[in-house]
Amino acid sequence: MAHFAELNSSNEVLQVIVVSNDDVDANGGDLHADAEAFVKTIVPHSTGGVAWKQTSYNNNFRKQYAGIGATYDASKDKFISPKPFASWSLDSNDDWQAPVTYPSVTEISSNTVLISWDEDNQKWLGKTYTGDDRETITNYQWDATNTQWNEV
């Protein structure tokens, strides 16, 4: 099955639909403008929709699968995920990066650290669960300078 993202006038993804591969092949094939035009004939645009762009469910083209809220960059011919936090910026690969490098340590004493970003304080936080019923919770703060987790 082929997937197509509906874009608004700002190239933001409004929805993603599924179309038969046979229909895509019969209309120019993958990534062809005729396939996008065909989709327009079988699925009318929703409110605010102005164009259809094919996307790859397996991330085989246009960088990544186009989720709702992603943006299509026509000059790069790729979809870019929504910005997760105000402080993050795009790197040269068009991936969002936090202002502090993601923790290199993801396990403490054989326990996986569940990692989250604290936008207000611009730091990574971690949490582990231990015990037979996972009832013991330990909170951590990432020290990027010493590349270690500190218990808080």
Q: Is residue 37 part of a domain?
A: yes
Judged against a pLDDT cut of 90, whether residue 10 lies above it is answered with yes
Number of domains in the chain: 2
Do 15 and 73 belong to one domain? yes
CB 115 within 8 A of CB 106: yes
Question: Each residue of 27-70: pLDDT tens digit?
Answer: 999 999 999 999 999 999 999 999 999 999 999 999 999 999 99
Q: Is residue 36 part of a domain?
A: yes
Domain boundary among 32, 51, 84: 84
Do 23 and 64 belong to one domain? yes
Residue 136 has a pLDDT of 85
Q: Is residue 38 part of a domain?
A: yes
Residue 134 has a pLDDT of 72
Question: Each residue of 79-117: pLDDT tens digit?
Answer: 999 999 999 999 999 999 999 999 999 999 889 999 999
Q: Is residue 131 part of a domain?
A: yes
Question: Each residue of 112-139: pLDDT tens digit?
Answer: 999 999 999 999 999 999 877 777 899 9
DSSP state of 12: B
Do 48 and 114 belong to one domain? no
Do 29 and 72 belong to one domain? yes
Do 76 and 119 belong to one domain? no
Q: Is residue 118 part of a domain?
A: yes
The model's pTM: 0.83
Residue 130 has a pLDDT of 84
Do 21 and 80 belong to one domain? yes
Do 120 and 76 belong to one domain? no
Which value, in Å, is the radius of gyration of the alpha carbons in the chain? Answer: 21
- For 41-118, strand residue ranges (E) read 49-55, 71-73, 78-80, 89-90, 96-97, 107-108, 111-112, 114-118
Q: Is residue 44 part of a domain?
A: yes
Could you list the residue range(s) of the whole structural domain that residue 11 is in? 2-84
Domain boundary among 84, 119, 136: 84
**Which of these, 64, 62, 66, 89, lies nearest to 76 by C-alpha position?**
62
